Structure formats: C-alpha cells, structure tokens
Amino acid sequence: MATVVAFHAHPDDEVILTGGTLAGIAAQGHRVVVVSATDGFIGEPPDYAPEVDRMTELRASAEVLGVHRVVHLGYADSGYGPVFYPDPPGRTRFARADTEEAAQRLAAVLREEDAEVLLSYEANGGYGHRDHVKVHEVGERAAQLASTPRVLYATMPRELLMRGLRVANRLRLPYFYEPALVPTAYSPQATITHRIDVRPFLGKKKRALAQHRSQIPRFAPQLLPLLPSPVFGLLAGREWFVDRAAEPGKVRGDIFER
C-alpha cells in the first residue's frame, strides 16, 4: 500500500479539489495525509483572534474522508484580492514565507511518511490565489528535497470553467471566479492526465464539505453541500489532475496509473 500526501493552501481546499479522490484512496487501504499550509484565518492585525477554528473543521472533514493524519505547516492565511494584510503577531502569512524554509517543513512530512505521491497545485495556483501559487512553489521544492517519486497537480478543465461562466452570465447567477482570470485559470483539457470518477464517494465528499460550516455562507463552492444530491453529483462527481511527468493525451482513471 502507498502513502499519498495532499498539500493544500487552506482548510476546505482538500474537499473541493481532492475530496473524492482521497476518500477513494483511503477506502482502498492506502495511507492518506493532508497538509494544510495555513489555518485559513485571515484576520487583520492587531485583531487576530479566530472566531472559528478552521483546523478543527479540517480535522472533522478529514475524518469523514478517511484521512489518517492532518498536518498544519504553521503559516497564516494570506487572503485573496488586492489587500495583503501584514503578518499577524508571531506568524508569517504563507505567501510571504521563505520558500526553502516552508519546503523543508513539508519535506520532513514527506520523508517521515515515505510518500509515494504528492498532490499539489500547478504554477498558476489554479485561479491565481497567492497562497495557491505558493503551494506550487513549496511543493516543487519539497518533492525535490524528499525525492518524492511522483507529483500530481489538482486542477480542473479550463474549458469547463468557461462554460460555467457563460451559463452564469446568461442566467445572471453569481460566479466565484473572476471572469478575467477564467481564460488562463487551472489547466487546458488537453493537458489533463488523470480524470477520477468520484461519484461512488459523493456522500463522503458532501459530508466532508459540510464540516466547513464557517465557510458555507461566504463562497459559492462551499454552497455545494446545500445542493440536492443529483445536482451535487453533476458538479462534483469528477476530479482532475496533471501528472508533471506523464505524457499528455492519455487520460487515466486512477492516480496511481502512470
């Protein structure tokens, strides 16, 4: 059996991008470790006192998915958008972290777990979030330091987002992603190497997402657990990855398939 380490920027990313895949891997008997770079609390100094412990929500989500271990690298959330708050007292926002230092922290987990696969993000961080871009940078270096055999980037087809944007515009619905970013967000369909059918684990994915109660009122992706199951399955029934070492063109249905 293998060990898979899923490296994410914030609590809830583990479900949105990889929840069904992690549940499936765990159900097969593999060891699953989730590493979160930040605790997900933004807060502007000096008023840095989380009202909700998002790490507790992450651990509850991980338990639903069958994750064996949760690790927090110790960094603070950098936030999304033009405002980049100063560091909170005694902590560093992840986007400002020294890449080598953060990579050493992640590499220590990879070595300790003897990880066969690291799940990370692509260079654009999906939709340009500064913490997601940093996950890519840190993940690349950590995999090199720990000699981790395989790195896969959690992503989604850019073309799917484009279709979603057109539908949202036509129906005048709110849309989470900034329209100007969509044409360069995530990965083109042709570069995706793994498409995982996670419909057998949709129940777990939906329950895991619901553990992030503090986020449900705030962002569109976190409204997914409130949707009827058939609609949820349509939106969340597949997860996508790019294997940086695999030849594009062939789409695999298992992340262990090369």
Flag whether 258 is in a domain. no
Q: What is the pLDDT of residues 65-87, one digit of tens each?
A: 999 999 999 999 999 988 898 99
- pLDDT at position 64 is 98
Contact 13, 61 (CB under 8 A): no
Q: Indicate if the pLDDT at residue 129 is higher than 50.
A: yes
In this prediction, residue 220 carries a pLDDT of 47
Give the pLDDT confidence of 19-31 residue by residue, as tens digits: 999 999 999 999 9
Instruction: Report pLDDT digits (tens) over 147-160.
Output: 999 999 999 999 98
- Please, which pLDDT band fits residue 15 given cuts at 50, 70 and 90? very high
**pLDDT more than 90, % of the chain:** 68
Give the model's pLDDT for residue 51.
57
Give the separation between CA 26 and CA 8, rounded to whole angstroms: 17
Residue 250 domain-assigned?
A: no
Residue 126 forms part of a structural domain? yes
Sign, CA dihedral 92-98-104-106, equals positive
Has residue 234 got a pLDDT over 50? Answer: yes
**CA distance linking residue 22 with residue 34, whole number of Å:** 9
Tell me if 255 is assigned to some domain: no
Q: What is the pLDDT of residues 176-224, one digit of tens each?
A: 667 788 889 999 999 999 999 999 999 899 899 889 988 765 544 445 5
Predicted confidence (pLDDT) at residue 229 exceeds the cutoff of 60 = no
Residue 134: what pLDDT?
A: 98
Check residue 70 and give its pLDDT. Answer: 98
pLDDT at 257 over 90: yes
Please give the share of the chain, as a percent, with pLDDT higher than 70.
84
* Domain count for the chain: 1
Is 112 a domain residue? yes
The CATH number of whichever domain residue 150 belongs to comes to 3.40.50.10320
Range(s) of the domain holding residue 182 = 3-243
pLDDT at 141: 98
Express each pLDDT in 28-61 by its tens digit. 999 999 999 999 988 655 555 555 689 999 999 9
CA dist list (Å): 70 to 57, 95, 179, 238? 11, 21, 34, 23
What local confidence, expressed as pLDDT, does residue 148 receive?
Answer: 98
Mean pLDDT of the chain: 88
Instruction: Report if residue 248 sits inside a domain.
Output: no
Q: Is residue 109 in some structural domain?
A: yes
Cis status of the peptide bond prior to 217, with omega within 30 of 0: no
Report CA torsion sign: 214, 217, 223, 229: positive
Name which of 81, 73, 11, 77 is nearest 43 in CA terms.
77
In a domain, 58, yes or no: yes
Query: Could you give the 3-state DSSP secondary structure of residue 45?
Result: coil
